[in-house]
Structure 1
């Protein structure tokens, strides 16, 4: 399996205005959420420490920083529910066998759907597809689309 593009980002490359498809600040907040989850899985460093470090490196508005923190807190609080719903939508495909990028894109998207005032499901799905297509493998976008369509539509 080819390495995810996030490997190089976690290894020290920062997200910048020139990073393709990441000029929207809300998308950056989602991206940082995925990056935090990924780094936590790979390194074992506490998710909140990782998130705060990544947020401190970025020029995000307070609103977008709050979105990122809210996504992470929602995933922490509802991790069993989120993973169960995703597993059910994959028709028996084990989450642990899924790439970390795809798994965490799905977690972030589903976590947003649990907010009291979530964005429209079409926005959640589109954002997840865009980020997964940028970070993941050639098939990540279509995989994310199929699973989230089952979960959210």
Structure 2
């Protein structure tokens, strides 16, 4: 299954947990155990949801730091969770290039959000990406320092 589909399924799970005020990992466990009418969650969707849940404080702090005028709690639920997925990919998943994470987030935003969301999401994720490249989470620079 394509990673784009996995991102959409992860978004559905994060959205549902957010709307219900339910713990992300408990909802994920329910979805894994009983997928209901849907096909089982793709492995990458599970990885995204677990990653977002594990790092949600750092993700939301990074988004709050770079968002002008809109703190994470005030953002629309879909926007917020698209941003969380992409920010997790940028900050914590070295397998996904930052530009791919941003492009995938924009694709979701264009189909699921209002007309203003893609520009907002693009600007915010670009700032997150620039910051992540300047100061990676593990403290190691992405480029070797000149001696």
- Please state which band the TM-score falls in when normalised by the shorter chain: 0.7 to 0.9
User: What is the CA-CA distance between 1:133 and the residue it aligns to?
Assistant: 1.1
Larger radius of gyration: 2
User: What is the CA-CA distance between 1:92 and the residue it aligns to?
Assistant: 4.9
- Alignment RMSD (CA, Å): 2.2
The answer (yes or no) to whether the contact 1:105–1:128 under 8 Å persists in 2 is yes
The answer (yes or no) to whether the contact 1:51–1:69 under 8 Å persists in 2 is no
Deviations 1:32-80 (A, max 9, x none): 11111111111244331454255971377xxxx2211111111111110
Gaps of 5+ in 1: 1-23
User: What is the CA-CA distance between 1:26 and the residue it aligns to?
Assistant: 1.0
Q: Give the Cα separation in 1 of the matches to 2:36 and 2:119.
A: 29
Q: Which moved more, 1:86-95 or 1:131-140?
A: 86-95
Deviations 1:98-150 (A, max 9, x none): 10011000000011123453311111100000101111111111111000011
Change beyond 3 A, Cα 1:54–1:96: farther
In the alignment, does 2:61 pair up with 1:84?
yes
Change beyond 3 A, Cα 1:136–1:54: farther
User: TM-score, length-normalised on structure 2?
Assistant: 0.76
Equivalent runs, 1:38-53 vs 2, <5 Å: 38-45=15-22, 46-49=26-29, 51-52=31-32, 53=34
The answer (yes or no) to whether the contact 1:133–1:141 under 8 Å persists in 2 is yes
User: What is the CA-CA distance between 1:93 and the residue it aligns to?
Assistant: 2.1
The answer (yes or no) to whether the contact 1:32–1:55 under 8 Å persists in 2 is no
User: TM-score, length-normalised on structure 1?
Assistant: 0.73
- Count the aligned residue pairs: 126
Q: Which structure has more RCO (C-alpha within 8 Å, separation ≥ 6)? A: 1
1:114 is matched with 91
